[in-house]
Amino acid sequence: MASKVDLVTVLKSLTLEEKISLLAGQNFWETVPVPGKVPCIKTTDGPNGARGADFTGGTPAACFPAACSVAATFDVTLARRVGAALAEEALSKGARCLLAPTTCIHRHPLGGRNFESFSEDPFLAGKLASQVIQGVQSKGVAATIKHFAANEQETDRMTVDEVISERALREVYLRPFEIAVKEERGPWAVMTSYNSINGTHADMNEFLLKKVLRGDWGWDGLVMSDWGGTNSTAESLVAGLDLEMPGPTLKRKVPDVVAAVKADKVAESVIDDRARHVLEFLNRLKAFEDATIPPEQAIDKPEHRALIREAGARGCVLLKNEDGVLPLSKHKVRGKKIALIGLAKTPLAHGGGSASVTTHYKISPWDAMQATLGDEVDIVYAKGGHVLRLLPPVCDSNESGKVVGLDGRPGFTVKQFNMDTQELVSTQHGNAECSLSPIGGASVRERTVEYEGDFTPSESGKHYLACSGLGPTQLFIDEKLVYEQKDPTPDAMGFLFGATSEDKFTFSFKEGKAYRLRVRTQPCTKATGLEILEGKAGLRVGFMLEAEHDANLLGEAADVARGADYAVVFTGHDPQWETEGQDQVSFNLPRDGSQDKLVEAVAGANKNTIVVNSTGVAVAMPWLDNIKGLVQAWFPGQECGNSIADVLTGAVNPEGRMPVSFPARIEDTPAYGNFPGAYVEDRDGDGKSKLRVEYKEGVFVGYRHYDRVGRDKVNFPFGYGLSYSTFAFAAMKVSNGGRSGDDAYQVTVEVTNTGDVAGGVLVQVYVGRKEKDEKHPVKGLAAFEKVRLQPGERREVQLSAAVRDLGFYNEARGKWVVEKGQYDFSLGESAMDVLQTVTVTVEEELAFAA
C-alpha cells in the first residue's frame, strides 16, 4: 500500500489508552482522532443515497434505485456506475466511508429490509455487490459491505439467535460476501450484523471473523459494528471487531479495556492489531494527508439524474402483457383517456430506515405521465383508498388547517426543561413534522421536551389525531389532556423509522378557531436492544380530517376506471410499510387488503387494467388473473415516476428480470413456519426469553426450493421477465474446465433480436447434477450477462462458470467438493424455463479449499 506516513511509527507512538480510544467512534458518524497523531473520518449511510449527518430532514441528496432494483437489471456495468455515483454523493456530505452495500439474502418475502439487498441468489448478489463496491472505491471512498452475516429478518434483530448449518452459511449466506471480498481488491470495510449466529453475536463471532473472513478468505481490512451492535468488551476485540460504532463508546471505555488487558482477557497485541486496522483504513482514505471534514453540500448533478432514471427503468420487470396492452405509446393512445389510480401521485422512491434520504426531488408517476403524454391523451386520477400506516404530521395538513408557533412562524415552538427543577433550559423553533430527531443535534438527556403551537382548522367537525413518543408523552389541547402514553414506546426501532403503531382518536374542532396544542415528552429510559436511543427524546403528532379519512374512495376509483380506455393502478409499500426495523405486516399489500380490493374493483370496471407495483419484496396477487398488464417497479429512486413512465410508454423497452421468486402463497415459501422464529427459554440468565429461528430449509432458498416443489407454487420465477421485443438463442456450447480452482467452463451462445424494437435480453446459465439428489439443489445460477441488441442484430456471448460452482460445501471435510459424474449446463429464460441443456462429465472428484 502506497503511504506517505509510517504507520508502524504512528502505532508505536500511541499509548495503550490512545490505541484503545481509536477502537470506537467519537460521535454518531465520525471516528476518534488523537490530536497531533491520528486524524478522523466521517461515515454516512447508505445503500441508495448518501444521507449525511442528520437522520431525518438533513441535507438533500440524490436517491438511487434500491439494491433490489439494481439486481433486477442483472447489469454489472450499471451496478459499478451506481457505485461510483454513490461515492460522489458521499464526498458531497464530507464522508469518506459509505455504509453500503447491503448484501444479505432474501430468505423470506416478509423480510423488512429485503429491498436494501440484492437477491435470493448468492451468486447474483455477490457479483452485483462486488461491482457496486468497485465503483464506490474507484473514487477513493470506502465501501462497507454489510451485514456480516445472515441479517435476513428485522424481528428482534438485535437479539435473535439464528441456527444455521455451516453448509447453508457457506453456500448461501456467506457466499455473496465471499465473492465481493475476493474479487478485485474487495471492500475496504465490513460491517457486522446485530443478530447471533449459532449462539454468538456476529460482532464477537470468531467463526465468522477469524476463521472465515480473515482466515479462509485472507481479508485484512476494517471490521466495524453495526450501530449499537457491539455486545461485549473483551470478546469482540479478541474475535476481530476493530471499530465499535457509534460513539461515544458503550462497550470500549478506556478504563474497561485497560482492565481487560491487565486481567489477560485481551492481549495488548490484540489492541495493536485492532488499532493497526483503523490506521490502515484512515491511511487508505488519505486522512493523514488531508484531515479536513468538509461541510455537507446538496449537489444535484444532471448526470446523476440521468443515471438514476436509466437504472430505474432498466430495473422494471414486465411480468404480464396480455394482448399487447403495453406499451401505451403516443400513437396508440392519442385521443384516448387513461386513468391513473391508487399511488399514482405518491413517488415510491425508497424504503425506510438507513436507506431513506431527504431527496433533491421525487417525481411521481402522475407527473411523469402528464409530462410524457399530457398533450396526447386525457389523463384522470382517483386515489382509491388510504394506505398510510401513520396519519400525516399535523404540520403537513395545510389544506385542513395550519400550525404556528408562539413566535407566529409556521411550525412549533420547542422548549426544553430540566427534569428535576422544571427550569426552562432552551427555546427554539421546531421542524414541520413535530418530531425531535432522537439521534441528532444537542443531547436531551435529563430534559423534558415540549412542542407548543396554535392550530387553526379550516373545517368544523371531528378530526382524527394520533400521538406517540419515544418516551412517555402527553398531548394537551387548550390545556386539556386528550392523550397520554404512559410508558416508553415498546418499539423504539419502529418509532425511529416512522413505522410504529399509533392509537388514533377523534376530536371536534371549529373552523377558524385557534386551538393551543402542547405536546410534552420525556426522554426514553429503556430501549431494549437499541440502547443508543436511551436518554433521547422524540415525538410525533398525526392529523387527518374525518371526511377525508372515512371517505368511500373505492367506488370513485371504479367509476373513473369505467370511463377510461386504460386504467393503470399503482400499488406498493411506502417507507412506513417497508422499512428497516420492521418485518412486513402481511404478504398482502397494505392496508388491511385495501389495495387488493382496489385492483379488483378497477379490473372489474375496465378490461384494460394494468398494475404497476412498487415493493422490494414479493407480495400476494389475488387479482393476477383479472388484469392485462403488470410491471414490478421496485423502488427506482428519485426519478421513479420518469423511470416507470419510460417503460409504460415504450421509451424504454423493459429488460429487467426477477432477482427473487414471487410465490403464489406465503405458505409455499421455503422458510414458511421458520420465520421469524419462536421464543425459547432464557439462556443468558437475564430472565428473558429469546427469539430463535432455525434455518431448516438449509440450502434450498428461493428457486432452489421451487425447483423441488413445482412451478405452480410461484407466480413469477427467478430470472423471469418479458420484453416488447423477442429474442432467439442458437445452440449453446460448453467447453471443459480444468482442475484448479481458478479454472472455469467456457459457455458460448449466439443470441438474436428477432423483434421490431431494440431491447435487452438476459443470458442466464444454471448448472446442476444430471442425476438429481435430494441433498443438493437441482441447479444454481453459474453465469449471466445482459445483452442489448438492435432489431435483427445478433451477437455471440461468452460466459465463464467456475468449476467450484458445480460442487457443494462438505462440512465433514471443510472443503468445496465437486463429485465425479455428469452435470447439466442449462440456458434459461428463467430459473424454471429451461431452453436447452448441455451435459458435461467430471471424470474424478475435485476438492477446493474453503
How confident is the model over 236-277, as pLDDT tens digits? 999 999 999 999 999 999 999 999 999 999 999 999 999 999
Q: Which H/E stretch holds residue 320?
A: strand 317-321
Cell numbers that stand for 759 in this block = 431491447
pLDDT value, residue 263? 98
pLDDT value, residue 374? 83
CATH for 845? 2.60.40.10
For residue 594, the enclosing domain spans 316-388+551-652
pLDDT value, residue 437? 40
Confidence of residue 551 (pLDDT cuts 50, 70, 90): confident
Residues 170 and 195 placed together within one structural domain of the fold: yes
How confident is the model over 586-615, as pLDDT tens digits? 999 998 899 999 999 999 999 999 999 999
Q: In what order do the strands lie in the sheet with 759-769?
A: 780-789, 759-769, 821-830, 833-842
Mean pLDDT of 539-566: 89
* Phi, psi (rounded to 5 degrees) for 222: -90, 130
Is the pLDDT assigned to residue 842 strictly greater than 50?
A: yes
* Residue of 644, 784, 742, 763 lying closest to 125 (CA atoms): 784
For residue 21, which amino acid is it? S
Residues 400 and 361 placed together within one structural domain of the fold: no
Is the pLDDT assigned to residue 769 strictly greater than 90?
A: yes
Residues 83 and 187 placed together within one structural domain of the fold: yes
Confidence of residue 419 (pLDDT cuts 50, 70, 90): confident
Residues 112 and 179 placed together within one structural domain of the fold: yes
d(CA 536, CA 483): 21
Q: Are strands 337-342 and 378-382 parallel, antiparallel or unpaired?
A: parallel
Residue 664 in domain: no
pLDDT value, residue 301? 98
Task: Determine whether 375 is exposed, middle or buried from the number of CB atoms within 10 Å of its CB (0-12, 13-18, 19+).
Answer: exposed
pLDDT value, residue 113? 95
Query: Which of 599, 627, 652 is a domain's end point?
Result: 652
pLDDT value, residue 538? 80
d(CA 68, CA 128): 10
Contacts with 3 (C-beta within 8 Å, 6 or more apart), sequence order: 283
How confident is the model over 126-167, as pLDDT tens digits? 999 999 999 999 999 999 999 999 999 999 999 999 999 999
Among candidate residues 45, 75, 121, 226, the one labeled active-site is 226
Alpha helices in 263-319 (DSSP H): 268-284, 302-315
Residue 782 in domain: yes
Residues 369 and 408 placed together within one structural domain of the fold: no
Looking at residue 239, what DSSP letter applies? H
- Residue 69's alpha-carbon distances to 308, 316, 317, 543, in angstroms, are 11, 7, 9, 33
Looking at residue 144, what DSSP letter applies? E
Cell numbers that stand for 217 in this block = 478468505
Residues 445 and 532 placed together within one structural domain of the fold: yes
pLDDT value, residue 376? 84
- Residue 550's alpha-carbon distances to 381, 386, 547, 576, in angstroms, are 19, 9, 5, 21
* Phi, psi (rounded to 5 degrees) for 514: -85, 130
Q: Which H/E stretch holds residue 17?
A: helix 16-21
Q: Are strands 196-197 and 161-163 parallel, antiparallel or unpaired?
A: parallel
pLDDT value, residue 561? 98
Residues 766 and 793 placed together within one structural domain of the fold: yes
* Cα 146 to the center of its chain, rounded Å: 11
Confidence of residue 399 (pLDDT cuts 50, 70, 90): low
How confident is the model over 634-672, as pLDDT tens digits? 999 999 999 999 999 999 999 999 999 999 999 999 999
- CA atoms 291, 48, 162, 123: torsion sign: negative
d(CA 582, CA 353): 10
Q: Where are the beta strands (DSSP E) in 335-485?
A: 337-342, 378-382, 401-404, 413-418, 424-429, 447-457, 461-469, 473-477, 480-485
Residue 310 in domain: no
Confidence of residue 439 (pLDDT cuts 50, 70, 90): very low
Residues 594 and 457 placed together within one structural domain of the fold: no
Residue 291 in domain: no
* 119-133, 138-152, 435-449, 555-569: segment of lowest average pLDDT: 435-449
Residue 293 in domain: no
Q: Kindly state the percentage of the chain with pLDDT values over 70.
A: 94
Confidence of residue 446 (pLDDT cuts 50, 70, 90): low
* Residue of 575, 86, 143 lying closest to 348 (CA atoms): 575
Q: Helices H, strands E: what count in the chain?
A: 20, 39
For residue 396, which amino acid is it? D
Mean pLDDT of 554-564: 96
Confidence of residue 683 (pLDDT cuts 50, 70, 90): low
pLDDT value, residue 684? 63
Q: Which residues, listed in sequence order, are joined to residue 295 by a DSSP beta bridge?
A: none
User: Which residue has cell 387548550?
Assistant: 478
Residue 532, sorted as left (phi over 0), alpha (psi -120 to 50) or beta, turns out to be alpha
Is the pLDDT assigned to residue 442 strictly greater than 60?
A: no
DSSP helix/strand/coil, 758:
coil
DSSP helix/strand/coil, 295:
coil
Query: Which of 234, 265, 284 is a domain's end point?
Result: 284
How confident is the model over 499-512, as pLDDT tens digits? 777 888 999 999 99
- Residue 63's alpha-carbon distances to 215, 269, 298, 590, in angstroms, are 37, 43, 12, 24
Residues 473 and 593 placed together within one structural domain of the fold: no
Residues 341 and 483 placed together within one structural domain of the fold: no
Residues 381 and 409 placed together within one structural domain of the fold: no
Contacts with 706 (C-beta within 8 Å, 6 or more apart), sequence order: 661, 663, 668, 713, 714, 717, 831, 832
Confidence of residue 527 (pLDDT cuts 50, 70, 90): low
Residue 713 in domain: no
d(CA 184, CA 182): 6
Q: Kindly state the percentage of the chain with pLDDT values over 90.
A: 79
Mean pLDDT of 20-26: 98
Residue 762 in domain: yes
pLDDT value, residue 432? 44
DSSP helix/strand/coil, 328:
coil
Is the pLDDT assigned to residue 443 strictly greater than 60?
A: no
What mean pLDDT is reported for the chain?
93
Contact 596, 586 (CB under 8 A): no
Alpha helices in 432-522 (DSSP H): 492-496
Q: Decide if 833 is catalytic.
A: no
Contact 844, 820 (CB under 8 A): yes
Is the pLDDT assigned to residue 434 strictly greater than 70?
A: no
Q: Which H/E stretch holds residue 558?
A: helix 553-562
CATH for 500? 2.60.120.380
CATH for 168? 3.20.20.300
* Biggest distance spanned by C-alpha atoms of the chain: 87
pLDDT value, residue 161? 97
Residue 680 in domain: no
Residue 441: CB atoms within 10 Å? 11
Domain count, the chain: 4
* Phi, psi (rounded to 5 degrees) for 571: -120, 170
DSSP helix/strand/coil, 204:
helix
Contact 519, 471 (CB under 8 A): no
Mean pLDDT of 223-230: 96
Is the pLDDT assigned to residue 397 strictly greater than 80?
A: no
Residues 563 and 528 placed together within one structural domain of the fold: no
For residue 427, which amino acid is it? T
CATH for 334? 3.40.50.1700
* Cα 179 to the center of its chain, rounded Å: 20
pLDDT value, residue 823? 97
Q: Which H/E stretch holds residue 168?
A: helix 166-168
